[in-house]
Amino acid sequence: MTYSKKITATLKQKGLKEGQRIKIGVYEGLLMPSPEITGSPDYLIIKLDNGYNIGIKYTSKTKLEKSNTPEPEAIKQEYLYETMDQHVEKIEQAHSKPPIAILAVGGTIASKVDYKTGAVNAKLTARDLVRMVPELRRIATIKMDTLSEVMSEDMNHVHWQTLAKETAKQLNQGAEGVVITHGTDAMHFSSAALSFMLPKLPKPVVFTGSQRSPDRGSADSSMNLICSVHAAKNDVAEVGICMHAELDDNYCIYSRGTKVRKMHSTLRKAFRPINDYPLAKVWPSGRFQMTNRRVKFRSTEKAKTDTKFEPKVALIKAYPGSEPKLIDYLIKQGYKGIIIEGMALGHVPTQAKKSWIPHVKKAIQSGVPVIVTTQCYYGRVNPDVYTNLRILYYEAEAIPGADMLSETAYVKLGWVLGHVKSMKKVREMMLTNYAGELNARLEPRMFLY
Q: Does 341 bind ligand GLU (CB under 6 A)?
A: no
DSSP one-letter code for 110: G
Q: Given candidates 92, 166, 176, 185, which one binds ligand GLU under the rule CB under 6 A?
A: 185
Distances (CA, A) of 402 to 34, 355, 371, 440: 53, 22, 10, 9
Which is closer to ligand GLU, CB of 59 or CB of 265? Answer: 265
- Catalytic (active-site) positions: 108, 184-185, 262
Q: How far is the CB of 244 from ligand GLU (least distance, A)?
A: 12
Cα 403 to Cα 300: distance, rounded to the nearest angstrom: 31
Could you tell me the smallest distance in angstroms from the CB atom of residue 49 to ligand GLU? 38
Contacts of 213 (CB under 8 A, 6+ apart): 108, 109, 111, 112, 113, 120, 219, 221
Burial class of residue 9 in the structure, from the number of CB atoms within 10 Å of its CB (0-12 exposed, 13-18 middle, 19+ buried) = exposed
The SS3 call for residue 363 is helix
**Of all residues in the chain, what percent are helix, strand and coil, respectively (each to 5)?**
30, 20, 50
CB of 223 to ligand GLU, least distance (A): 15
**Nearest residue to the partner ligand GLU, using Cβ:** 183
Contact between 209 and ligand GLU by CB under 6 A: the answer reads yes
Return the number of the residue (126 or 430) whose C-beta is nearest ligand GLU: 126
Per-residue binding string, ligand GLU, 146-165, x by CB under 6 A, is -----xxx------------
Taking the complex as a whole, the smallest distance from the CB of residue 290 to ligand GLU amounts, in Å, to: 27
CB of 213 to ligand GLU, least distance (A): 8
> Which one, 34 or 152, has the nearer CB to ligand GLU?
152
Pick from 2, 60, 59, 6: which is nearest to 31 by CA?
A: 2
Choose between 177 and 209: whose C-beta lies nearer to ligand GLU.
Answer: 209
- Restricted to residues 89-118, the positions that interact with ligand GLU (CB under 6 A) are 106-108
407 forms part of the interface with ligand GLU (CB under 6 A): no
Helix axes 406-417, 187-197, angle to 10 degrees: 40
Q: What is the DSSP code (8-state) at residue 109?
A: G
Q: Which residues bind ligand GLU (CB under 6 A)?
A: 106-108, 151-153, 183-186, 209, 211
